[in-house]
């Protein structure tokens, strides 16, 4: 393998980011996985809370550690990296050099998202706001409707090459 790969998986809550990222991580030898939720799990949560940018620094630090530890594949899933204003500073603060970034935005229909939200046992109403955000520039878009996790992982692996 010529360069390390930082694989970013973003998309709406309940679209399947964590599940897909975990299975992708398990499918690669010499890999590491970070779920962005681990770095900004706060209550109450608000995307506009300026303190969340401190969590972004934690994401950069953890991703730097994984890349500097010579993992071939570093898988990172997060809803917030759909926003350029958040993803770019996270990437800029990574201290590792000579790695490729490959981004994926997972999507699905509103009906599928509502079913997944209900299946997770969420009592609050499902929000479709994230589902309708424009994907991050140059991300691969993967529609997860009617696909198994294994099918999505295989699709991602084929795109990574």
pLDDT, one tens digit per residue, over 84-138 is 999 999 999 999 999 999 999 999 999 999 999 888 877 778 889 889 999 999 9
Angle at 16 between CA 13 and CA 19, to 5 degrees: 125
Query: Are 78 and 17 in contact, with CB atoms under 8 Å apart?
Result: yes
Q: Where are the domains of the chain?
A: 4-160
Asked whether residue 38 carries a pLDDT value surpassing 70, the answer given is: yes
The CATH number fitting domain 4-160, selected from 1.25.10.10, 3.40.50.300, 3.40.1410.10, 3.40.50.720: 3.40.50.300
User: pTM (2 decimals)?
Assistant: 0.92
- Is the pLDDT at 1 greater than 70? The verdict is no
- DSSP code of residue 31: E
Judging by DSSP bridges, how do beta strands 73-77 and 4-11 pair with one another?
parallel
Q: Mark 9-32 as b/e (b = at least 16 C-beta within 10 Å).
A: bbbbbbbbbbbbbbbbbeebeebb
Q: What is the mean pLDDT of the segment spanning 34-39? A: 90
């Amino acid at each position: 393998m010529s360069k390390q790969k930082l694989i970013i998986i973003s998309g709406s809550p309940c679209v399947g980011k964590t599940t897909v990222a975990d299975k992708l991580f398990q499918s690669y030898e010499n890999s590491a996985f970070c779920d962005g939720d681990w770095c900004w799990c706060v209550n109450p949560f608000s995307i506009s809370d300026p303190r969340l940018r401190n969590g972004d620094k934690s994401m950069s630090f953890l991703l730097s550690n994984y890349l500097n530890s010579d993992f071939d594949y570093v898988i990172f899933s997060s809803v917030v990296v759909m926003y350029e204003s958040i993803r770019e500073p996270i990437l800029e603060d990574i201290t590792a050099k000579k790695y490729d970034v490959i981004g994926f935005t997972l999507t699905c229909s509103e009906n599928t998202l509502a079913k997944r939200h209900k299946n997770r046992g969420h009592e609050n109403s499902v929000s479709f706001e994230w589902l309708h955000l424009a994907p991050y520039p140059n991300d691969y878009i993967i529609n997860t409707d009617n696909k198994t996790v294994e099918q999505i992982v295989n699709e991602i692996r084929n795109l990574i090459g």
